[in-house]
Amino acid sequence: MNQPITRNLPASAPDDLGGGGDLAPLPEWRLGDLYGGTEDPAIEADFAAIAADCGAFGADFRGRVSELDAAGLAGAIRRYEALEQRLARLHAYAQLVFSADASSAVSGRFYQSVTERITAIGTGLLFFTLEINRIEDAPFAALADEGGLAVYAPWLRDLREGRPHQLSDDLERLLHEKDVTGHAAWSRLFDETIAALRVPVGGEDLTLSAALNRLSDPDRGVREAAGRAIGVVLQRNARLFTLITNTLAKDKAIEDGWRHYPTPISARNRSNRVEDEVVAALVAAVTSAYPRLAHRYYTLKAGWLGLDRLEHWDRNAPLPDDADRPVAWPEAQAHVLAAYRGFSPELAAIGERFFTNAWIDAVPRPGKSGGAFAHPTVPDVHPYILLNYHGRSRDVMTLAHELGHGIHQSLAAEQGYLLARTPLTLAETASVFGEMLTFRSLLDGETDPARRRLMLARKVEDMLNTVVRQIAFFTFEQRLHERRRDSELLGEEIGDIWLGVQRESLGPAFTFSDEYRMFWAYVPHFIHSPFYVYAYAFGDCLVNALYGIYQDEVASGRGAAFAARYLDLLRAGGSRRHGELLAPFGIDAADSAFWQRGLDVIAGFIDELEN
């Protein structure tokens, strides 16, 4: 079933960021546009109606999909899409309730119950896509040439690319039904464990998110205390995190083997609709650039901080004289919307709806999911945004990032449920572009040279977190999954892989204290969405190139034309591939020069700081 689930949503790059402070009032979302509460009678009524309609759908089409003409198949797809969307609405609501308080047993039970019921009902729809894929290529091509299926052509194309990896109907049904006690159950255990962790720092028992925020404290003693305490708490739970990681990696290897995927990343690339060579070119370009990017910058940073070597708790340390004054929520909202408005009034108008309609939950709470995400829910409702806002400048960028996702999802919704979802290769475009718009707007408005230098350094660090750190995460996953195919890994072995890629990516400016070897354990993307993380680097390099083109067109008086093409890209959702969408901008992701252009932007910023 094509459910929009948190683990596959565009989210802020996983990182050691969080925060604290009293910045009330902060918005909390109201989920009433989905359902009025977990006891809302509409939930039971919807389940009953959908179950009946799924039964009728099966009675009408099971075993005879190959007999349908183009008009009949198009009509069946419309019914299938409507059923999937109704199920997705239920799942989105349960997921958002759980994300708001993953430590609540009641929320956890509701989420699990809804997921199990959706899985049971969705099993009755599984036959439809399987039967479409059993139609041989020649008769299917003749069928698809008829006009009635044109609107669903992209969805059918992507569906049929999975034919070589499709299993028998019984096996597909087994995998579908067992997910609630397999991957989904282990993911839930991870989420609940992370939400329940408490880290003792400075006499306080902090949530993990709040403790991670202390790694950005100006006081190095506070940073060190937090860094060591986080490592101790993660180590205390090492057996559980190691078991979860080993189990899910082996689970993936088993399914990959049955589906004949040659490498652990192959399934992700296919779902992302991106060629293996494009991803390989991206990874090679970034890893070869480690010395001129991260190694060079962090050597500079060590000097600025007056240190011979940095520890891991210094990576996000503020620079000297960088007070990073708290930014109240109304000010953050005004900054972000003004930046969007300067680029496109239409984009800003869509973004403003998130603030006026309580579609954002920004309050840090015990039990709430860490990090940030934008959930598209379903096309006939609207997205919701979750973040933990602590008033730091990075939180303003997170708001700009997630609002970009929300706007993108809102625009793509017009494609309908099956075609709205954007592949990861482009899913980070709007979010990172929104960050860039906001950063440039703030930088252009700053006249103090010292403040501009600090803003530029913060931006470099954010870009390194988005590009270098995420490709290092990707490399960590590759090595872990490759070794797990041979045997279970000890926690110490996973820690060795982690420290190895951190040393390679961050460079000789760092030493790493022993407790840092457990910091792999809290990154949710490793659990929920293996190999998701390269999408961040893809998006950042793409946006660097796009923004450069935008600046060129503004200089020549064609800024409005660029904005129009950009909105068309967002509206396309998943209806077009990345090559087709980027062609109007003169961008070819298969060209290694494209990646170098994006990395050169980061290197140029470091040049400015170095000089």
Q: What is the pLDDT of residues 167-210, one digit of tens each?
A: 898 998 899 889 888 999 999 999 999 999 999 999 999 999 89
CA distance linking residue 411 with residue 427, whole number of Å: 13
Contact of 373 with 12, CB cutoff 8 Å: yes
CA distance linking residue 41 with residue 311, whole number of Å: 54
The conformation of residue 34, written as its DSSP 8-state character, comes to T
Report how far Cα 417 is from the mean position of its chain's Cα atoms.
Answer: 19
pLDDT at 325: 80
Q: Which residues contact 486 (CB under 8 A, 6 or more apart)?
A: none
pLDDT at 316: 93
Extract long-range pairs of 147-151: CB within 8 Å, 24+ residues apart: 147/70, 148/70, 148/71, 148/73, 148/74, 149/70, 149/73, 149/74, 149/77, 151/74
CA distance linking residue 362 with residue 402, whole number of Å: 11
Side-chain-side CA neighbours of 547 within 13 Å: the count stands at 26
CA distance linking residue 302 with residue 308, whole number of Å: 6
Which residue in the block uniquely carries the two structure tokens 């802020």?
Answer: 12
pLDDT at 276: 84
Those residues of the chain that have pLDDT short of 50 are 1-21
CA distance linking residue 437 with residue 525, whole number of Å: 26
Of the candidates 80, 77, 86, the residue with the CA atom closest to the CA atom of residue 153:
77
Buried b (16+ CB within 10 A) or exposed e, 304-329: eeeeeebbbbbbbbbbeebeeeebeb
Contact of 92 with 375, CB cutoff 8 Å: yes
pLDDT at 587: 84
For 511, the 3-state DSSP assignment is coil
Contact of 394 with 458, CB cutoff 8 Å: yes
CA distance linking residue 229 with residue 210, whole number of Å: 12
pLDDT at 381: 97
Q: In the CATH scheme, what is the homologous superfamily, with its name and number, of domain 6-11+27-186?
A: Oligopeptidase f, N-terminal domain (1.20.140.70)
Contact of 320 with 449, CB cutoff 8 Å: no
**CB burial class (10 A; 0-12, 13-18, 19+) of residue 298?**
buried
Q: Where in the chain is the domain with CATH 1.20.140.70?
A: 6-11+27-186
Contact of 227 with 313, CB cutoff 8 Å: yes
Of the candidates 120, 252, 113, the residue with the CA atom closest to the CA atom of residue 177:
120
Angle, helix 41-61 to helix 70-100, in steps of 10 degrees: 150
CA distance linking residue 420 with residue 111, whole number of Å: 24
Helix (H) / strand (E) containing 500: helix 491-506
Q: How far apart are the first and last CA of the chain?
A: 54
pLDDT at 5: 32
CA distance linking residue 369 with residue 98, whole number of Å: 8
**474-286-484 Cα angle (round to 5):** 25
pLDDT at 18: 37
Measured from the Cβ of residue 171, the count of other Cβ atoms closer than 10 Å reads 13
Extract long-range pairs of 247-254: CB within 8 Å, 24+ residues apart: 247/186, 248/183, 248/186, 248/187, 248/527, 248/530, 249/480, 249/481, 249/484, 249/530, 250/484, 250/488, 251/182, 251/183, 251/186, 252/481, 252/530, 253/481, 253/484, 253/485
Contact of 9 with 369, CB cutoff 8 Å: no
pTM: 0.82
Helix (H) / strand (E) containing 430: helix 429-444
Which residue in the block uniquely carries the two structure tokens 């659990």?
Answer: 527
pLDDT at 38: 96
Contact of 3 with 87, CB cutoff 8 Å: yes
CA distance linking residue 171 with residue 525, whole number of Å: 27
pLDDT at 23: 63
Of the candidates 524, 526, 516, the residue with the CA atom closest to the CA atom of residue 229:
516
Contact of 431 with 421, CB cutoff 8 Å: no
Of the candidates 118, 292, 312, 288, the residue with the CA atom closest to the CA atom of residue 234:
312
Task: State the virtual CA torsion across 557, 562, 563, 566 in degrees, nearest 10.
Answer: -170
Angle, helix 105-123 to helix 183-196, in steps of 10 degrees: 170
Q: What share of the chain is helix, strand, coil (3-state, %, to 5)?
A: 70, 5, 25
Buried b (16+ CB within 10 A) or exposed e, 263-287: ebbbbbbbbbbbbeebbebbbebbb
